[in-house]
Amino acid sequence: MNLFRSSPWPRRGIVGLAKASAVTFVLALSACGGGDDGIGVDGAMPVQDARSARTSVAIEPVGPSCVTGGAAISAGVDSNNNAVLDAAEVTSVSYVCNGANGIAGAVGAAGVPGAAGPAGAAGALGLAGVSTLVHMQSEPSGAQCAVGGTKITAGHDTNGNATLDASEVSATSYVCGGAPGAAGATGATGAPGAAGANGLDSLTSVNAELAGVNCTTGGVRVVSGVDSNRDNVLQLSEVTSTQYVCTGAQGAQGSPGAAGATGAAGLSVLVATVSEAVGANCSYGGTRITSGQDANANNVLDGGEVAATSYVCNGAGVTWIGVSSASVQASRNTGYAAQSASRVTVTLPASPTVADIVRVTGMGSGGWQIGQNAGQSILTQAISTALATTPAGINWTVRDSTRFWISIASSDDGSMLVAADYGGQLYTSTDSGVTWTARDSNRNWQAVASSADGSKLLAAPYSGQLYTSTDSGVTWTARDSNRGWQSVASSADGSKLVAAAYGGQLYTSPDSGASWIARESVRSWLSVASSADGSKLVAVAINEQVYTSTDTGVNWTPRDTARNWYGVASSADGGKLVAVDSGGQVYTSTDSGITWTARESGRSWRSVASSADGSKLFAGVAGGRLYTSVGGTTTPGTTGWLRGGQYDAVELQFVGNGLFIPLSFTSGSVAGIVGN
């Protein structure tokens, strides 16, 4: 029997495991007989020392094995034949974990009363009603109580402020003190009462609040509530109070302080440049640069004042070499014409001098690849901007504040962004994530999507309606019905949409959301993405594989490995993909999902977005920060490379610190110049 553990996200109702004492099941194993020749049935050797196989079932508390509790099933051989499966005899443990509560069925007609049955399990907590408040205060001697007493008022807390206001009092009574009586004899001490059940803890969570509708100048958001499920985490469903502690407005500028005393005059720094002849300092001539302080203040850099000297040398003329072999070690100031039908690898000079030049051009159908030595890299930002071929995801920059970032989307140029804070607001940026503006209201936001120009946005809260905006998030309109949406995506023009339901199917719409078609199978879907034309789709499910489609969602192909996938994004052409593994790394693909490369570090990644060319990536961490990545250089060292096809050419110059920069390049192949 196969046993599985399951922990779907987000959490909903959990079916409790009925309390029961551990039950041990015993399976007797006996040898099947043959003759006295020692050979059993089907030629199997007989069991020489038959011992009982036993199993044991015990309650499994909530923990890493079963996040909602369940049963632990231990199995093994009773080696000491004591009819008990001892701990040392256990060879395997499997778990049967509690599932989610089912939907309550309709109430049936009342039947004929039967005999009273045993007491049933306690029912689920009902919805909180209006609280009834009781207030007691001392009542002085007077008309109500001759010798004083207590005044008791009661009523419903209709305004929910936890105070019994005068307008809410519906009943008043008095408990009056009697005349003092004679002291009675001391009674016997009563037996201790039974211990009461443990109460529920109150939890509080504090997060930063950006400047917006709740705090004009920013501040902190404080949410609190009762830990109903006793998991020591304040779930959104448990929040009963949200308050804001806002930063005060900036005070008026103080008066200028008194001017300080005039400091002593400093020395000027002078720089002089002169031509450097061909020689030991510059093989092909160049410029000598000297600098130092003008100690005698004559505005001339005298020989005795020179503190530093450097040279900017001329490069040599480039000599071209035709290459048909598989690889060649490049020399300084040399060009290489790749003439083979197979790819030619040209490795950069191991010890180049500043201003050295290397040129490579693809004449043969195999194209070329530029290899690197340890510590070397090639600046590719200009090439990626022009050709959109260099993968991003190598370097990341932290943005905004710590929030529960759960979804993010980008315009095609990466400048217009929209991000969702689960339990908070939506946030938009018009400068590639440098600054952010809070939008709409606090909701359980789950997913966002953007058109190519960033003007048309789509957002979905869990178990809520869809919300659309046509003005880059300034105003929003509620759409459709309440559903368990987890992710949404849009084509560039907003006409073709795809949505994912957790524990349900994928859905596609060919008409801007007017009608929807169920696709693929029921899975724990968490994120979807679309190419600009809506034909290439990618979707991920938790603890499943990545799934891709090239026919607008009609057919799907599983890719890569089953991971804790939480978010996925696509370039406009569907060729460059990025996905995040919560608790793992960021993964990128440059071949529409066929192969994947791990990037960045292990974090609680929840969402990711991509610019149209795939060169700018954005990712969010649950309870953490936002990260951005822009392709800039090839991977440093021997694993990095720059690659081109037939009719592609590039000219590189060494600028020091292991870095080569492109002086010029041209692309005549379909794939273009690609860097890694």
Please tell me the least confidently modeled range out of 124-138, 172-186, 390-404, 659-673.
Answer: 390-404
**Bridge-based pairing state of the strands 357-362 and 334-338:** parallel
Residue with tokens 């970032």: 405
State percent of the chain over pLDDT 70: 83
How many angstroms separate the CA atoms of 13 and 5, rounded? 16
What is the rounded average pLDDT of the residues 60-80? 88
Amino acid at 13: G
The answer to whether residues 104 and 123 touch, using CB atoms and an 8 Å cutoff, is no
Q: What is the distance between the alpha carbons of residues 396 and 626, in angstroms, rounded to a whole number?
A: 9
pTM for this structure? 0.38
* pLDDT for the residue numbered 28: 33
Q: Phi/psi of residue 371, each to 5°?
A: -90, 160
Among candidate residues 335, 354, 332, the one with its CA nearest the CA of residue 664: 335
Q: How far apart are CA 293 and CA 164, in angstroms?
A: 80
Span 123-181, pLDDT tens digits:
776 556 778 888 888 899 888 898 888 898 989 888 888 898 999 999 998 888 777 76
What letter does residue 41 receive in the DSSP assignment? G
Whole-angstrom CA distances from 21 to 56, 107, 139, 439, 568 are 11, 33, 56, 53, 45
Count of beta carbons in the 10 Å neighbourhood of residue 267 = 12
pLDDT of residue 3: 38
- Judge whether residue 25 has pLDDT over 80: no
581 token code pair: 């593994």
Categorize the per-residue pLDDT at 555 as very low, low, confident or very high, splitting at 50, 70 and 90: very high
Per-residue pLDDT of 207-245, as tens digits, reads 767 667 788 777 778 878 888 888 777 777 788 888 888
Q: b/e per residue, 503-522, with b = 16+ CB within 10 A?
A: ebebbbbbebbeeeeebbee
CA–CA distances in Å: residue 167 to residues 135, 137, 162, 173, 364: 13, 17, 14, 16, 92
Q: Is the pLDDT of residue 483 over 80?
A: no
CA distances from 291 to 235, 277, 298 (A): 64, 19, 15
Return the structure tokens found at 523: 């899975």
Q: Which residues pair with 676 in a beta bridge?
A: none
Most confident of 339-353, 457-471, 485-499: 339-353
More confident residue, 313 or 482: 482
Q: Which residues contact 330 (CB under 8 A, 6 or more apart)?
A: 336, 346, 347, 348, 349, 358
Torsion of CA 209, 215, 221, 225, to 10 degrees: -150
Buried b (16+ CB within 10 A) or exposed e, 599-635: bbeebebbbbbbbbbbbbbbbbbbebbbbbbbbbbbb
Q: pLDDT of 443-478, one tens digit each?
A: 999 888 988 888 888 898 888 887 889 899 999 988
Least confident range of 414-428, 449-463, 551-565, 573-587: 449-463
pLDDT > 70? residue 436: yes
Higher pLDDT, 26 or 154: 154
